[in-house]
Amino acid sequence: MCSGRVDLAHVFRAFSNGVDGVFLGACHLNECNYITHGNYHALTMVSLARKLLEQIGLNPERLKIEFMSGSESNLFVEGVNGFVSKVKELGPLGRGEGMVEKELKLKLEAITRLVPYIRLVERERLRLPAMPEEEYRKFFESEELTRLFEETIGDKLAVAQIVSLLRKGPLSTAAIAKTLGLTPSKVSKHLNASSKMRLVRYDESRKCFALA
């Protein structure tokens, strides 16, 4: 199967099912077997997924892509062995980052619900032309990408996490901030925006927020 067929949904489904790391093997760049540049799409997807992992407090090193041909079994073995060693060093998903299971589940659920939107943003704003791998990495580590990410995905991801949390029951701003690891001021901003979109409402009797 072409590496370009691997989707964000596949990656985050794997993490949601409890795997500690995801390794993706792809053809060498500019050597696509299907002449579709699928491996470039895979590189973009992995770069974006690593940014999402970082955004929710998970180590981006838990996701890796390596480029190799079908005849380079030595590269495959070396790549997998090195990745397995790194994941063991990181520890179990979430726990290795000091995250409780409930918090991890909530954050992964939020990303999963947002995947169709993220896929659209990637296609419209973040898809790059074929270029050397190093140029891809520079872009995804740049201030420009950070700005684009926060502008198009970051805020929506925070709102998605808040909505997922409130599905469990009403909570105060302080409780939401503590659970999600955000500042109360940021949570207030997202709650105000969510209230305008009629996603949440303020319950005066309980002095907390609930789903609308």
**101-121 helix and 155-166 helix, angle to the nearest 10 degrees:** 140
Q: Which amino acid is at 209?
A: F
**Partners of 201 in the beta sheet?**
210
Residue 132: what pLDDT?
A: 83
Q: How is residue 199 annotated by DSSP?
A: S
Q: Is the sign of the CA dihedral 189, 195, 199, 205 positive or negative?
A: positive
For 139, the 3-state DSSP assignment is: helix
Residue 89: what pLDDT?
A: 97
**Partners of 67 in the beta sheet?**
26
| Tokens read off for 93 | 């998903």
Residue 48: what pLDDT?
A: 94
Q: How many residues does the chain have?
A: 212
Residue 187: what pLDDT?
A: 93
Closest listed residue to residue 44, CA positions, set 82, 86, 11? 11
Q: Where are the domains of the chain?
A: 3-141
Residue 168: what pLDDT?
A: 87
Residue 2: what pLDDT?
A: 87
Q: For the chain of 212 residues, list the mean pLDDT of each consecutive stretch of 10.
A: 90 96 92 78 93 95 93 90 97 95 91 94 85 86 91 91 91 91 90 91 91 91
Rounded to whole angstroms, how far apart are CA atoms 212 and 202? Answer: 8
Q: Which amino acid is at 145?
A: L
Rounded to whole angstroms, how far apart are CA atoms 195 and 20? Answer: 36
Q: Is the pTM of this model over 0.85?
A: yes
Residue 52: what pLDDT?
A: 96
